[in-house]
């Protein structure tokens, strides 16, 4: 058998190839993430949200493009920057927001917070506060799917920083040698916390590492184009569902916000950030594409925005009005 | 009753539980083709196949991490650590993932994983193949920790661990594998968290576990020849641990010695002693003594290893000071 190749995804998908409903789904999902994150940022800075918060703003196309190929029976492992993955997987915004506010009505009854949201009913196996902590859990979920004779897959999301953890290499070998149904999704957002990735990573294209584990790797140069991500992920997921073993998807994106809310961002210039916002914003790119093609009129997009604004306002209201957990729940769920 | 080795007892437990529940499977290094380096998995692949008895890459992180992931997806994995010493390689997967998933995610999913960890000194195996590290795990909320000393408990605790919906670390002393003991016929379960009175006595309580139970028995024999009746409590579980059994015994005897093979400083014996000091000070007629290894890695050369080891004599000499 020919060794799997590491290839660059040729971005040749026309927006006209999609139904309007599908396009609306892409747009609405990315908008939900953006507006959810903007609200979380604002409420964190206003002192209403405690703990640490890591925002997904600017990377919405990756979660949306990958998850649009998955069902609730497929599993994902997410990261500390996990709100986008969770929303794209289909989580309820009210319950998510409540968790971030530390409320009893949240996904984890207020025991997790921003970095530890999970929703097993939709196949979201958990965000992870440890960078690189998700790979092997995802490999195990994929192992279970294979042992149970299912056609479902697992995916693990991680950044360029996490690609340097040893956990990646153990999981990649494990998944490859046992041909597990696992998709590695690298969100190359250029910064490992505060460190520019090329100062700490041996390869320019992290997907090159897939070669050493005999799995196909695809690089999406414009990881902010949701259609390119969707198409590239679709092909790899078909390959995985057919029983060929794991695959690697690298999406080049950009972390518009700091590592965490409050990060002084001394490691980059404002100009660099602004240039990315002006030229690569995934929502802007999408709006341009669908309006230029005449598929959506501006007022149609505005109507979708208003709908999402309403959903976020509802989520915020639900979170704020929800009760905090009672101190008597401290030991609940420690042991079964 | 049947008289079988500790190792055979664990094999029976595995076989019975794998027959009982199709979601139970085992993975680890050298367990399928080789049968485990101590023979503790021998014959299982013939009965269950390589799909359920899985030889893994030498990747402890992947073994434990994927056991957690597989558990979240509906399986009941048993993960073998080869040597308890290697558990450090996958510590994040144990203490940040396995132990916390159920609590941190608000009780949405349980993590029914058993980690089998052969520990203890045998055959001059030196610093990285001889350690007893149970105390580390007694400090981690969300885990259960069991540590049998004999064939019957080895079987009963392993079966209970596999059926438990919480993650359980199962320490099995390498020196215990060939030791025979009576095991009840038929279904035999031992409740996690319950101590066992190894022998009754009125003059002194010795709290111990794992291989050290056998050394304590020898020390108690020697004391008995002098007319001193020691009670031995085999703790069997480190977390949760049977505080009531210990306090009850100390209330009767008025004297306490805690003995373990692990390093004395910060060992689990310190927790037992501190608890008795907090809650049972009035019972005590003499100072408490602790017996454990010196604060030193396990050395290789015979005289050094002998100087390091806790034995029946170490226990005997220690308790003589409080009698």
Nearest CB among A140, A148, A170 relative to B69 is that of: A140
Chain B within 8 Å of A73 (Cβ-Cβ)? Answer: no
Q: Which residues of B265-282 are buried (b: 16+ CB within 10 A; e: fewer)?
A: eebbbbbbbeebeeebee
Cα dihedral B104/B109/B111/B112 (nearest 10) = 150
Residue B183, helix vs strand vs coil: strand
Q: Does the bond joining B240 to the residue before it have cis omega, within 30 degrees of 0? A: yes
pLDDT value at residue A311: 98
Distances, alpha carbon A95 to alpha carbons A75, A78, A108, A321, in Å: 19, 17, 9, 12
* C-beta neighbour count of B81 within 10 angstroms: 24
Separation in Å, CA of B288 to nearest CA in chain A:
32
Separation in Å, CA of A167 to nearest CA in chain B:
7
The answer, yes or no, to whether residue A12 has pLDDT greater than 90, is no
Kindly report the CA angle at A119 between A114 and A125, in degrees rounded to 5?
A: 90
Among A57, A43, A60, A157, CA closest to A102: A43
| Gap between the Cα atoms of B12 and A42, Å rounded | 59
Chain B within 8 Å of A76 (Cβ-Cβ)? Answer: no
Nearest CB among B68, B104, B142 relative to A137 is that of: B68
Percent of chain B with pLDDT over 70: 100
Q: How many CB pairs under 8 A join A and B?
A: 140
Q: Answer whether B127's CB lies under 8 Å from B293's CB.
A: no
| Gap between the Cα atoms of B308 and B217, Å rounded | 20
The backbone region for A109, taken as left when phi is positive above 0, alpha when psi lies in -120 to 50, beta otherwise, is: left
B165 burial class (0-12, 13-18, 19+ CB within 10 angstroms)? middle
| Gap between the Cα atoms of B77 and B94, Å rounded | 14
Chain B within 8 Å of A123 (Cβ-Cβ)? Answer: no
The pLDDT confidence band at residue A3, using thresholds 50, 70 and 90, is low
B103: which chain A residues are within 8 Å (Cβ-Cβ)?
A: 111, 333-334
| Cβ–Cβ below 8 Å for A332 and B107 | yes
Non-local (6+) Cβ contacts of A95 within 8 A are: A105, A106, A107, A119
* C-beta neighbour count of A311 within 10 angstroms: 16
pLDDT digits (tens, 9 = 90+) for A195-210: 999 999 999 999 999 9
| Gap between the Cα atoms of B219 and B217, Å rounded | 5
Nearest CB among B65, B92, B166 relative to A140 is that of: B65
Separation in Å, CA of B105 to nearest CA in chain A:
4
| Gap between the Cα atoms of B217 and B221, Å rounded | 6
| Gap between the Cα atoms of B162 and B167, Å rounded | 9
* C-beta neighbour count of B222 within 10 angstroms: 15
pLDDT digits (tens, 9 = 90+) for A220-274: 999 999 999 999 999 999 999 999 999 999 999 999 999 999 999 999 999 999 9
Separation in Å, CA of A267 to nearest CA in chain B:
29
B218 burial class (0-12, 13-18, 19+ CB within 10 angstroms)? middle
The answer, yes or no, to whether residue A1 has pLDDT greater than 60, is no
Q: Answer whether A289's CB lies under 8 Å from A12's CB.
A: no
Q: Answer whether B156's CB lies under 8 Å from B119's CB.
A: no
Nearest CB among A116, A128, A141 relative to B72 is that of: A141
Q: In chain A, how many H helices and how many E strands?
A: 11, 8
| Cβ–Cβ below 8 Å for B165 and A332 | no
A173: which chain B residues are within 8 Å (Cβ-Cβ)?
A: 57, 59, 62
Cα dihedral B28/B30/B34/B36 (nearest 10) = -60
Nearest CB among A118, A141, A335 relative to B166 is that of: A335
Indicate the CATH number for domain B2-183.
Answer: 3.40.50.970
Interface mutation target, options A51, A78, A80, A136, chain B, most CBs of B under 10 Å: A136
pLDDT digits (tens, 9 = 90+) for A143-177: 999 999 999 999 999 999 999 999 999 999 999 99
Non-local (6+) Cβ contacts of A306 within 8 A are: none
CA B3 to the chain's CA centroid:
21
* Torsion angles phi and psi, residue A97, rounded to 5: -65, -40
Consecutive H or E run containing A50: none
Separation in Å, CA of A136 to nearest CA in chain B:
5
Indicate the CATH number for domain B196-320.
Answer: 3.40.50.920
Its sign, for the CA torsion B10, B12, B15, B17, is: negative
Beta bridge partners of A191: A196
Q: Answer whether B237's CB lies under 8 Å from B194's CB.
A: yes
| Cβ–Cβ below 8 Å for A174 and B108 | no
pLDDT digits (tens, 9 = 90+) for B265-287: 999 999 999 999 999 999 999 99
The residue assigned the tokens 């608000």 is: B106
Beta bridge partners of B3: B182
Residues of B annotated catalytic, as ranges:
60, 129
Distances, alpha carbon B144 to alpha carbons A159, A191, A318, B115, B168, in Å: 33, 39, 37, 10, 5
pLDDT digits (tens, 9 = 90+) for B278-316: 999 999 999 999 999 999 999 999 999 999 999 999 999
Percent of chain B with pLDDT over 90: 98
The pLDDT confidence band at residue B176, using thresholds 50, 70 and 90, is very high
| Cβ–Cβ below 8 Å for B62 and A174 | yes
Separation in Å, CA of A53 to nearest CA in chain B:
16
Topology adopted by domain A6-321: Rossmann fold (3.40.50)
pLDDT digits (tens, 9 = 90+) for A37-52: 999 999 999 999 999 9
The answer, yes or no, to whether residue A4 has pLDDT greater than 80, is no
Its sign, for the CA torsion A236, A241, A242, A245, is: positive
pLDDT digits (tens, 9 = 90+) for B209-252: 999 999 999 999 999 999 999 999 999 999 999 999 999 999 99
| Gap between the Cα atoms of A6 and A267, Å rounded | 31
Domain ranges of chain B: 2-183, 196-320
B-contacting residues of A 304-333, CB under 8 Å?
332-333
Nearest CB among A108, A130, A154 relative to B106 is that of: A108
Residue A86, helix vs strand vs coil: helix
B70: which chain A residues are within 8 Å (Cβ-Cβ)?
A: 140-141, 143-144, 147
| Cβ–Cβ below 8 Å for B93 and A136 | yes
């Amino acid at each position: 058998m020919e060794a799997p190749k590491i290839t660059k995804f040729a971005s040749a998908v026309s927006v006209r190839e999609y139904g309007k409903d599908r396009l609306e789904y892409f747009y609405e999902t990315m908008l939900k993430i953006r507006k959810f994150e903007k609200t979380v940022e604002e409420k964190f800075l206003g002192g209403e949200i405690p703990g640490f918060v890591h925002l997904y703003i600017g990377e919405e196309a990756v979660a949306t493009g990958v998850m649009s190929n998955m069902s609730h029976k497929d599993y994902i492992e997410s990261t500390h920057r996990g709100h986008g993955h969770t929303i794209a997987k289909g989580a309820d915004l009210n319950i998510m927001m409540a968790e971030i506010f530390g409320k009893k009505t949240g996904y984890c009854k207020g025991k997790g917070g921003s970095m530890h949201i999970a929703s097993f009913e939709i196949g979201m196996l958990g965000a992870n506060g440890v960078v690189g902590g998700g790979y092997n859990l995802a490999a195990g979920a994929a192992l279970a799917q294979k042992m149970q004779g299912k056609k479902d897959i697992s995916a693990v999301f991680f950044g360029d920083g996490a690609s340097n953890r040893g956990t990646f290499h153990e999981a990649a070998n494990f998944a490859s040698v046992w041909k597990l149904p696992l998709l590695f999704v690298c969100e190359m957002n250029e910064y490992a916390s505060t460190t520019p990735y090329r100062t700490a990573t041996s390869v320019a294209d992290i997907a090159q590492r897939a070669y050493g584990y005999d799995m196909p790797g695809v690089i999406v140069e414009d990881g902010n184009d949701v259609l390119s991500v969707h198409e590239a992920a679709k092909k790899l997921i078909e390959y995985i569902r057919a029983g060929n073993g794991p695959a690697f998807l690298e999406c080049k994106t950009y972390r518009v916000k700091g590592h965490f809310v409050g990060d002084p961002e001394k490691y980059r210039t404002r100009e660099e950030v602004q240039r990315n916002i002006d030229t690569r914003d995934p929502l802007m790119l999408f709006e341009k594409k669908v309006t230029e093609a005449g598929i959506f009129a501006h007022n149609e997009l505005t109507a979708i925005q208003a709908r999402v604004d309403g959903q976020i306002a509802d989520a915020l209201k639900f979170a704020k009005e929800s009760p905090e957990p009672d101190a008597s729940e401290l030991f609940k769920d420690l042991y079964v | 009753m049947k008289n079988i080795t500790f190792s055979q007892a664990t094999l029976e437990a595995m076989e019975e539980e794998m027959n009982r529940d199709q979601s139970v499977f085992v993975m680890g290094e050298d367990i399928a083709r080789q049968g485990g380096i101590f023979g503790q998995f021998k014959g299982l692949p013939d009965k269950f196949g390589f799909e359920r008895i899985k030889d893994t890459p030498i990747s402890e992180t992947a073994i434990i991490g994927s056991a957690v992931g597989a558990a979240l997806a509906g399986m009941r994995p048993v993960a073998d650590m080869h040597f308890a010493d290697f558990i450090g390689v996958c510590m994040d997967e144990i203490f940040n993932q396995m132990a916390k998933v159920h609590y941190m995610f608000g009780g949405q999913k349980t993590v029914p994983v058993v980690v089998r960890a052969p520990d203890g000194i045998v055959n001059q195996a030196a610093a990285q193949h001889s350690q007893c590290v149970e105390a580390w795990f007694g400090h981690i909320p969300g885990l259960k920790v069991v540590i049998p000393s004999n064939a019957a408990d080895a079987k009963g605790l392993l079966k209970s661990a596999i059926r438990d919906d919480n993650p359980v670390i199962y320490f099995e002393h390498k020196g215990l594998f060939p030791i025979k003991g009576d095991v009840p016929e038929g279904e035999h379960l031992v409740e996690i968290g319950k101590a066992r009175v190894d022998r009754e006595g009125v003059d002194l309580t010795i709290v111990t576990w794992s291989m050290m139970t056998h050394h304590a028995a020898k020390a108690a024999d020697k004391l008995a020849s002098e007319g001193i009746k020691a009670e031995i409590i085999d703790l069997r579980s480190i977390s949760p641990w049977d505080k009531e059994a210990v306090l009850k015994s100390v209330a009767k005897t008025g004297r306490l010695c805690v003995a373990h093979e692990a390093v004395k400083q910060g060992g689990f014996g310190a927790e037992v002693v501190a608890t008795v000091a907090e809650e049972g000070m009035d019972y005590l007629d003499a100072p408490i003594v602790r017996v454990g290894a010196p604060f030193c890695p396990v050395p290789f050369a015979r005289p050094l290893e002998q100087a390091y080891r806790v034995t029946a004599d170490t226990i005997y000499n220690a308790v003589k000071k409080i009698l």
